[in-house]
């Protein structure tokens, strides 16, 4: 497995492979790899001849007071996992080599980046789209693979690719979960035992909403009331948002659901490390498929 640290070397490698007719799939990551990332690698392998993983903790997507300094960077463990998973190349640029000191060019998706995570983390998605654009220009992939756990991120990247005409196929992979249903995340490791137990409220609330629409409930307010009641059973949780949105436009879902609706959650829990501002932010989502012609129930 090859490890490359500079954009110029990666571009040369991509050019050589493309000239030979080889198909490249890229799995962008910030490291701290787990089974969820390996599922992305597996999906990439089914789409290409060469699977590449980028490992870069992107500073431009972290806001003031967020966990950039605490973000885990187990480089050797990550490289071992990539090697064991059959990854052919890892792109691990240095921060000072990936962004020029006087960097001032940004890629921004205006509307899709505003709600949900964008509302509470202004500038976050500008950092995401900028770094992903830079990775696409560096790796020149035919395919790029992302997890559906970050549903808004996936939507924003797809819009960027469409609007700017990137010649890259974007593939979304369903969320990989712990045995108890909690979505896999590098942040889960920061939860103490009780917070970890209560964090299961996220997936329980998704299940509650799915059962409600399966039973014929189509009212947004009533569905969200059940979701919030379930989240309230976790006293350590602070709910940043629990919203129903259109899965494509991310506009608020209508009160009477007539088609698929994205239920998106962001919930904070105390960190095992404690301290002010040291909370753990977890996100999860599910696309609900209500049956509007059934009799609605309170």
- Cα–Cα distances (Å) from 289 to 116, 210, 233, 241, 260, in that order, read 20, 8, 25, 20, 5
Render 2-50 in DSSP notation, one character per residue.
EEE--HHHHHHHHHHHHHTT--EEEEEE-S---HHHHHHHHHHHTT-SE
Decide: 175 and 284 in contact? Cβ < 8 Å: yes
Q: Which of 34, 31, 51 lies closest to 42 in space, CA to CA?
A: 51
Helix (H, G, I), strand (E, B) or coil at 51: strand
* CB-based contacts of 203, cutoff 8 Å, min separation 6: 177, 180, 181, 182, 183, 284
Helix (H, G, I), strand (E, B) or coil at 285: strand
8 is written with which tokens? 């110029």
Is 37 among the catalytic positions? yes
Q: Dihedral sign, CA of 208, 209, 214, 215?
A: positive
d(CA 187, CA 36): 13
Catalytic residue chosen out of the listed positions 37, 124, 142, 190: 37
* CB-based contacts of 225, cutoff 8 Å, min separation 6: none
Helix (H, G, I), strand (E, B) or coil at 297: coil
- Cα–Cα distances (Å) from 123 to 106, 187, 279, in that order, read 10, 21, 20
Helices (H), the chain: 7-19, 35-45, 75-84, 95-98, 117-120, 124-139, 151-164, 193-198, 201-214, 220-231
Q: Catalytic positions, please?
A: 37
């Amino acid at each position: 497995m090859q490890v490359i640290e500079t954009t110029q070397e990666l571009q040369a490698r991509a050019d050589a492979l493309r000239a030979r007719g080889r198909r490249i799939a890229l799995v962008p990551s910030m490291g701290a790899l787990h089974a969820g990332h390996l599922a992305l690698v597996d999906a990439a392998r089914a789409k290409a001849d060469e699977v590449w993983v980028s490992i870069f903790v992107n500073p431009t997507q972290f806001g003031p007071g967020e966990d950039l300094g605490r973000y885990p960077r187990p480089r050797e463990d990550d490289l071992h996992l990539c090697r064991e998973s059959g990854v052919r190349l890892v792109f691990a640029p240095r921060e000072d080599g990936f962004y020029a000191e006087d960097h001032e060019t940004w890629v921004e998706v205006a509307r899709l980046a505003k709600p949900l995570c964008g509302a509470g983390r202004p500038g976050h998605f500008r950092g995401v789209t900028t770094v992903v654009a830079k990775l696409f220009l560096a790796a020149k992939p035919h395919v790029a693979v992302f997890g559906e756990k970050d549903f808004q991120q996936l939507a924003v990247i797809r819009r960027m690719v469409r609007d700017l005409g990137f010649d890259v196929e974007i593939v979304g992979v369903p969320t990989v979960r712990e045995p108890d249903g909690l979505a896999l995340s590098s942040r889960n490791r920061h939860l103490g035992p009780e917070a970890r137990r209560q964090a299961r409220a996220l997936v329980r609330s998704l299940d509650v909403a799915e059962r409600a629409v399966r039973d014929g409930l189509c009212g947004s307010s009533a569905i969200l009331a059940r979701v919030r009641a379930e989240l309230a059973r976790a006293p350590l949780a602070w709910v940043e948002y629990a919203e129903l949105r259109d899965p494509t436009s991310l506009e608020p879902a209508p009160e009477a659901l007539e088609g698929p609706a994205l239920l998106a959650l962001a919930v904070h829990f105390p960190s095992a490390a404690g301290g002010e501002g040291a909370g753990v932010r977890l996100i999860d989502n599910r696309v609900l498929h209500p049956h509007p012609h059934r009799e609605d129930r309170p």
